[in-house]
Amino acid sequence: MKKILLSTTLLVATAGVAAAEVTLSGSGRFGLDYAENRVASDDVTAANKTILAYRLRINVDAKFEADNGVTYGGRIRFQNTNGQSAAAFSPAMLYVEASGVRVEVGNANTAFDSVALMYNPEIGFQERSFGDPLGAYYSFNSGSYGAENNRVGIYVAYSVSGVNLKASLVQPDQTLADAGPTMQDEMSVAADYTFNQFTVAAAYVQNGLGLEGNDQTFVGVAYKFSDAGSVGLNYNDNGDLTDVGGGEVGTSITLYGNYNINGITLAGYVTDLDVDGADTAYGLGASYDLGGATLAGAVESGFDGDTRADLGVRMSF
């Protein structure tokens, strides 16, 4: 998905030791971001509705293949986004991979966050959508853990004949034997299968983001009706924070689609959230391939009826 910007092969002189490969890859984006009722950081100062949004992400990957065919590797990410005072490195993720099985430890991916179709409704150069899950759950962390410096995750994935199976466990603090209701182990499972022009996917997470009782479910189906376009339907049960002093986040259903015509991809979605007072959210977007970069923009209306929009360029390298 991402092209290699720099690839350095480290040839180890010791006989019988496999060669290691260290690569840099990443993505960047910049453009204008509009929010009808942006929240100001200073209570006294009104917020600008339009700001310049940007992000640069660099992945540092290292791997080698042992004589027995097993691949060992790891990743650290370096990232800065507008609004952050400085770029920061992520915690490390290490993995081993063989015969269709991948095991990650440390700052691991999670099954729930990695399931197919979940983020398909995203549009605009910032790739966002009100059709994304609204609940709280762990994923690969692009920056510092902050207070959760003892967080650790384990992720297992297996792929065979179009079927992808995933499972993960995240401990907010692996040093604590009894972590309490706000630091529970998060466990998630996911599966997806592609056959002919259909893809189906499902995922479940227990104690999302380490919060007791914050269980969430995702189910999605997509149909690729031609090489130019596809449609899909996603269902999200976004969790329940009652056990930690909150309430139900609600369930949402999103219908989305995209179609490419003359090099321009048009995309849109509509999302219904079963929370009292929530408006139906929707968005329309378009993107154009610039030959290595993409010009993209979107206009969306949220659950509160407020409008947000963006227009900019994103790139991968």
Per-position DSSP letters for 133-202, written without gaps between them: --S------SS--TT-TT-EEEEEEEEETTEEEEEEEEES-TT-SS--TTSPPEEEEEEEEEETTEEEEE
Which domains does the chain carry?
4-316 (2.40.160.10)
Residue 242 has φ and ψ, to the nearest 5°, of: -60, -40
Q: What is the pLDDT of residues 24-68, one digit of tens each?
A: 999 999 999 999 988 877 666 778 999 999 999 999 999 999 999
Query: What pLDDT, on the 0 to 100 scale, is given for residue 53?
Result: 97
138 CB neighbour count, 10 Å cutoff = 26
Q: What is the pLDDT of residues 107-160, one digit of tens each?
A: 999 999 999 999 999 999 999 999 999 999 999 999 999 889 999 999 999 999
176 CB neighbour count, 10 Å cutoff = 11
Amino acid at 187: M
Query: What pLDDT, on the 0 to 100 scale, is given for residue 241?
Result: 86
Largest CA distance in the chain: 68
Query: What pLDDT, on the 0 to 100 scale, is given for residue 44?
Result: 66
Percent of the chain whose predicted confidence (pLDDT) is above 90:
83
Separation of alpha carbons 111 and 23, rounded Å: 25
Query: What pLDDT, on the 0 to 100 scale, is given for residue 258?
Result: 98
Query: What pLDDT, on the 0 to 100 scale, is given for residue 143?
Result: 93
Q: What is the pLDDT of residues 301-312, one digit of tens each?
A: 999 999 999 999
Query: What pLDDT, on the 0 to 100 scale, is given for residue 18?
Result: 61
Q: What is the pLDDT of residues 245-278, one digit of tens each?
A: 887 899 999 999 999 999 999 999 999 999 999 9
**What single-letter DSSP state applies at residue 112?**
H
Q: By the 8 A CB rule, do 255 and 268 touch?
A: no
Separation of alpha carbons 64 and 9, rounded Å: 10
pLDDT band at residue 7 using 50, 70 and 90 as cut-offs: very low
User: What does the pLDDT average to over 161-165?
Assistant: 95
pLDDT > 60? residue 233: yes
pLDDT > 80? residue 196: yes
Query: What pLDDT, on the 0 to 100 scale, is given for residue 166?
Result: 98
Amino acid at 55: R
Q: Residue 31: beta bridge partners?
A: 53, 312
pLDDT > 50? residue 16: no
Percent of the chain whose predicted confidence (pLDDT) is above 70:
93
pLDDT band at residue 10 using 50, 70 and 90 as cut-offs: very low
Separation of alpha carbons 23 and 84, rounded Å: 26
Q: Which residues lie closer than 8 Å to 63 by C-beta, 6 or more apart?
A: 20, 21, 71, 72, 73, 74
Looking at per-residue pLDDT, the higher value among 191 and 180 belongs to 191
For 297, the 3-state DSSP assignment is strand
User: What does the pLDDT average to over 231-236?
Assistant: 98
Query: What pLDDT, on the 0 to 100 scale, is given for residue 177?
Result: 82
Which has the closest alpha carbon to 283: 260, 316, 258, 262? Answer: 258
User: What does the pLDDT average to over 71-100?
Assistant: 96
Separation of alpha carbons 225 and 123, rounded Å: 20
Query: What pLDDT, on the 0 to 100 scale, is given for residue 141?
Result: 97
- Rounded CA Rg of the chain: 21
